[in-house]
Structure 1
Amino acid sequence: MTDARPWAAPRADSPIDARVRVPGSKSLTNRWLVLALLAEGTSVLRHPLRSDDSERMVGALRALGAEVDDEDPAVWVVSPPAGRLRGGIDIDCGQAGTVMRFVPPVAALADGPVRFDGHPSARSRPVGPLLQALGDVGVTVREEGRGTLPFEVLGPLPATSGAEPPHVGIDASASSQFVSALLLAAAAYPRGLRLEHTGPTLPSLPHIEMTLDVLASVGVRVDRPDATSWLVHPGPVRAVDVTVEPDLSSAAPFLALAAATGGRVLVADWPETTTQPGERMREVLAAMGARTDLTAAGLLASGAPDGRLRGVDLDLSEVGELTPVIAALCALADSPSRLRGVGHLRGHETDRLAALVTELTRLGAGARELPDGLAIEPRPLVGAPVRTYHDHRMAMFGAVLGVAVPGLEVEDVATAGKTFPGFDLAWEEAVRSAAPTQASASPTGHP
């Protein structure tokens, strides 16, 4: 348990009517930063996410020799080093999975060793398949035999003969970030890279589509022989001036707030088209009886007309990061739910499946782990502390439940700052938008 003061999650006694603005996408911010490091020229990122994860990535870029002017929080300017990336450095990944996975393939280009470590909780997150793939390309990697932090990448990538790109197989069943990491760096390799996923499952495929989309926008050519193999051609990375979309995964708890209270929440500046998996939250809410409407101002989420939530049976393999928020809604539903395809969440900031079962059970819900997910049975819930396990998504899970459960406290809500600094303040403001009422029952009708 942390010694941080517990946060009393605000309860809503009536439907919400709120407008919120969420920070820039973490996934897009950190992809653009990696490409800006490799670009031929100076890049500009507008409305990037400033959070612990993105600041760790900025720190990695600076350590590797880039100049990053982030004095204006709304406009970051990235100038890559004139020559080879700097080696002989240490990179602190914190808890950022994108740093511990996206940066090592880039570090293979550095002029000397690059050492990686991070928060103690990050030392159990898998990275072994990526390190093995780097070894297959010819990069020397030193690690402790566990396939986790800490490890060392010894650049520079050795020169090789021949015209064909190296062919590397990787089992990305534990994380699609392994594939994205290699795709982001491969155009800077002398012969590019032919990459093939060899595992039984490939979670979070939309995040790979996101990576391919940003690569195309910087002029990197990627052929796709089939759904799980990619050929990245060597060539220059074009500098960009890009506006980062709002983080739709960070918007998910606010959309859930509308569903949980039978109210309305408008998320400003929702993109008309996007590669972000968080867009799928709209489908989830529809399955549970709520609705969403894309307007000129943003996305408007509205609770079910009868104020109740339906249980669901969902495959979340492509949107695993939404699981904690969806699990909170399932605990408030009027029938059991099953969430499938998310076994890989056992290797995230914490074992999210075990954490969700533990916390739901403590609050009184029926919950059990499945080989690939969760089974949740709604029961009367009681106020109790919700542990966050240093996991930003668990803090958001607790906040959603708190609107319907009096007396619920969230341990270390500040951990949400990993991707949404000031989440608790934004949440409190949104919940305060509930109209005054004398009702004492939960807005969802949940006992």
Structure 2
Amino acid sequence: MPTQNWSAPMASGPVDATVALPGSKSMTNRALILAALADEPTRVVRPLRSRDTLLMAQALRDLGVRVAEEGDDWLIAPGERAPLAAPVRVDVGLAGTVMRFLPPVAALADGRVTIDGDPRARERPMRPIIDALRALGAEIDDGGRGCLPFTVHGRGALAGGAVTIDASGSSQLVSGLLLAAPRFAKGVEVRHEGPPVPSAPHLAMTVQMLRDAGAAVETAGDLWRVAPGALRGGESVIEPDLSNAAQFLGAALVTGGRVTVPGWPADTTQPGDALRGLLAAMGGQVSAGPDGLTVQGSGTLHGLDADLRDVGELTPVIAALAALAGSPSRLTGIAHLRGHETDRLAALAREINALGGDARELPDGLEIRPRPLHGGLFHTYDDHRMVMAAAVLGLAVEGVEVENVATVGKTLPDFTDLWTRMLGV
């Protein structure tokens, strides 16, 4: 994919398209961790292949796990769990799932594992999981920084037990502990204390996938227990990435057209399923059937007043739709987005306003009012979802130039091809 600026294409009329999406990043990386810790081989069916998931696969290979490609699938063999032949250095890029899910696995390795990533990754919240792993018996050298880079001195096992954590910065801090917990000698009991944990559907996904792999998991409010025990392999089927459907389904609202995403699951833990209600509230007609989920634009795009705490990853596209709406929007519950790939609240307000919009940061969100937009350069801050937001704006605004469109490869490498095909360009 080219690294130069990308001219976001305007829609010449109502879109009418079916867009087949690749697998869920969140499910793929959870499946890879569970497969690496299983007692038998696992076939991960139709995983996403993107920067985040390829980084996870390579990190596991570095720890001695065999990850092989077979057609559209991945075959994972846990490995012999022998001592590492030499110290390992793992690159997590800018992937929150890799930087939060991998340290507990590294603590179970027998050897020294240094974990590092992109410059922005060194600013993302990691202290809670570092402190939690130490409380559970791990030895970690982070120079007192509480962030990347740090070195895990694995001993081939981890005691586990009870730990209290403030996971208000990211639900991944809890998920990372839970996913590896069946291999801890005592399992784990994780209690959250602090402001509400964001992205609750992702925690439900972690719990469900653990149970599907044979783990015994109990939940009670802000308390999660995982018993020690074997994880089974077999087959792990990855659903289409529903969060990556946001911009395509949103195009139906912007253009007054129709977009269908096939394979939409009838029952899912993916946060992207909330698009049904959000897009309906913004003026779309949403229907599910054997062909998938279809959104039909009505020709009118409404503003939205919504708490997006559980679906923060949808915020950039929802904010772009709000900037094109005919009435004001207020998006709240998303203060944690300041610690994502970039400070998404500041970035969205800055870039929408640079195109003539009226977006204001709130302590925990954004307020966006209607205002005519014009073209210009839309900075993306190495954030894949900023690319998607810019593309949505470009549907209705001539001359939107998207900086470093290649960063979208983090979760959707084929984005520009899918986007232009949808538009018939």
Q: TM-score, normalised by structure 1?
A: 0.93
Kept in 1, the 8 Å contact 2:106–2:113? The answer is: yes
Determine the C-alpha separation between the residues in 1 that align with 2:391 and 2:195.
35
Q: Is 2:136 aligned against 1:116? A: no
Kept in 2, the 8 Å contact 1:98–1:177? The answer is: yes
- Aligned partner of 2:264 in structure 1 is 270
Determine the C-alpha separation between the residues in 2 that align with 1:64 and 1:122.
21
**After the TM superposition, which residues 44-443 of structure 1 pair with which residues of structure 2 at under 5 Å, given as runs?**
44-72=43-71, 74-84=72-82, 86=84, 88-156=87-155, 166-224=161-219, 226-304=220-298, 307-432=299-424
Determine the C-alpha separation between the residues in 1 that align with 2:345 and 2:128.
22
Identity of aligned residues (%): 52
Q: Which runs of 5+ in 1 are unaligned?
A: 434-447
Q: What is the CA distance between 1:268 and its match in structure 2? A: 1.3
Q: What is the CA distance between 1:85 and its match in structure 2? A: 6.5
CA RMSD, 1 decimal: 1.3
Q: What is the CA distance between 1:100 and its match in structure 2? A: 0.6
Determine the C-alpha separation between the residues in 2 that align with 1:405 and 1:146.
44
**Structure 1 range deviating more: 341-350 or 85-94:** 85-94
Distance 1:85 1:273, change over 3 A: farther
Q: What is the CA distance between 1:242 and its match in structure 2? A: 2.0
Q: What is the CA distance between 1:112 and its match in structure 2? A: 1.3
Determine the C-alpha separation between the residues in 2 that align with 1:311 and 1:139.
48
Determine the C-alpha separation between the residues in 1 that align with 2:12 and 2:417.
19
Kept in 1, the 8 Å contact 2:115–2:150? The answer is: yes
Q: What is the CA distance between 1:372 and its match in structure 2? A: 0.5
Q: What is the CA distance between 1:404 and its match in structure 2? A: 0.4
Per-residue deviation, residues 25-70 of structure 1 (Å, max 9, x unmatched): 0000000000000001110011100000000000011001011111
The letter for the 1-side match of 2:237 is T
- Aligned partner of 1:442 in structure 2 is none
Q: What is the CA distance between 1:217 and its match in structure 2? A: 0.3
Q: Which runs of 5+ in 2 are unaligned?
A: none
SS at match of 1:45: strand
Per-residue deviation, residues 181-205 of structure 1 (Å, max 9, x unmatched): 0000011001101110111121001
Kept in 2, the 8 Å contact 1:328–1:398? The answer is: yes
Q: What is the CA distance between 1:289 and its match in structure 2? A: 1.2
Determine the C-alpha separation between the residues in 1 that align with 2:284 and 2:264.
18
The letter for the 1-side match of 2:232 is R
Determine the C-alpha separation between the residues in 1 that align with 2:42 and 2:286.
35
**Structure 1 range deviating more: 295-304 or 319-328:** 295-304
Determine the C-alpha separation between the residues in 2 that align with 1:134 and 1:111.
16
- Aligned partner of 1:18 in structure 2 is 17
Runs (4+) of structure 1 moved beyond 4 Å?
157-160
Determine the C-alpha separation between the residues in 1 that align with 2:415 and 2:3.
16
Kept in 2, the 8 Å contact 1:138–1:158? The answer is: no
Kept in 2, the 8 Å contact 1:126–1:148? The answer is: yes
Determine the C-alpha separation between the residues in 2 that align with 1:85 and 1:29.
27
The letter for the 1-side match of 2:34 is L
Per-residue deviation, residues 108-152 of structure 1 (Å, max 9, x unmatched): 111011100011121111111000100111111111333221011
Kept in 1, the 8 Å contact 2:107–2:158? The answer is: no
Q: How many corresponding residue pairs?
A: 423
Determine the C-alpha separation between the residues in 2 that align with 1:399 and 1:197.
37
Kept in 2, the 8 Å contact 1:187–1:235? The answer is: yes
Q: What is the CA distance between 1:269 and its match in structure 2? A: 1.0
